[in-house]
A and B are shown apart, each in its own frame.
Chain A
Amino acid sequence: KAGVTQTPRYLIKTRGQQVTLSCSPISGHRSVSWYQQTPGQGLQFLFEYFSETQRNKGNFPGRFSGRQFSNSRSEMNVSTLELGDSALYLCASKHLGQANTGELFFGEGSRLTVL
C-alpha cells in the first residue's frame, strides 16, 4: 500500500506570493491533517479534514487554508507569504472507524522557503 504522498517536496517563493501544497493520503484513509514544522517549535497543528469538511483548526491566521476532495486528497494554501512561513509542512492521514488505532501516518513533507 502506498504511503502518504506530498507534492511538491521543495519550493521557493517570495514574500507576498501564495502557495498550494498537495497531499494524497493512504488508500482508505479519510482523515487528513496538516502540520507546520519549524526548528524549535515542533509540530504545530494547522487543520484536519474528513469527508471534505474541516473538523479541527489550529491557531494559525486566515492566510492558511485548506480543503479536501471527494477522493480524500487534500490541499493547503498559504496566501500573502511571509518570511516566517518558511517551514516543513507535513500532511498526515489516519484511518477512522474500527481500524482506527489513533496512529498518524505522515508524508515526507513539503519544504517551503520564503525569500
Chain B
Amino acid sequence: GENVEQHPSTLSVQEGDSAVIKCTYSDSASNYFPWYKQELGKRPQLIIDIRSNVGEKKDQRIAVTLNKTAKHFSLHITETQPEDSAVYFCAASIKGGSEKLVFGKGMKLTVNP
C-alpha cells in the first residue's frame, strides 16, 4: 500500500554540522513532497516542499532533492543551529478522492551547542 519510510529516526549533530534526512515512497504517481518541522509542543509547520518536475530546491540553509527513478527524496540542513532541533516529517502525495499526504514517522534532530 501507500507508504513513506523515513531514516534515521533520530540524529544528533554538533552546531555547525550538516544534517541529512532521507525518505522513500512507494507510489510512483506521487508528485508533491513537503517537509514539516515540529518543535517540541508546537504544531507541524511546512519548511520546504518540492514537486516532481524539479530535482532540487533550496531555501537558505535547507535544501531538498528528489530522485523520482529511485523514489526517494532528502532534506539537507547546513550549518545547523540549536533552533533546528525538532522533529522533521517528510510526506508524499497520494491520489485518492483527492490528493492526500502520507507522512513518514518523523526524525528527531538534536543540535548540540
- A-side interface residues toward B, CB under 8 Å? 4, 31, 33, 35, 40-45, 48, 50, 54-57, 90, 102-104, 106-109
Contact = CB atoms under 8 A, between A and B. Distances in A.
A109 B100 CA distance: 19
Prevailing SS type, chain A contact patch? strand
Contacts of B45: 106
Contacts of B99: 102
Consensus secondary structure, chain B interface: strand
Contact of A41 (B36, B96, B101, B105): B105
A102 B98 contact: no
B89 interface: yes
Interface of B: 6, 9, 32, 34, 36, 42-46, 49, 89, 91, 93, 96-106
A40 B103 CA distance: 12
10 contacts: A35-B103, A42-B105, A42-B106, A43-B106, A45-B100, A50-B98, A55-B98, A56-B98, A57-B97, A90-B44
A102 B100 contact: no
Residue with the highest number of chain B CB atoms closer than 10 Å, among A4, A41, A42, A109:
A42
Contacts of A31: 98
A102 B94 CA distance: 12
Contacts, number: 59
Nearest to B32: A102
Given A43-B44, A104-B46, A106-B45, A56 B100 contact: yes
A102 B49 CA distance: 9
Contacts of A35: 103
Contacts of B42: 108
A76 B96 CA distance: 20
A90 to B, nearest CB: 7
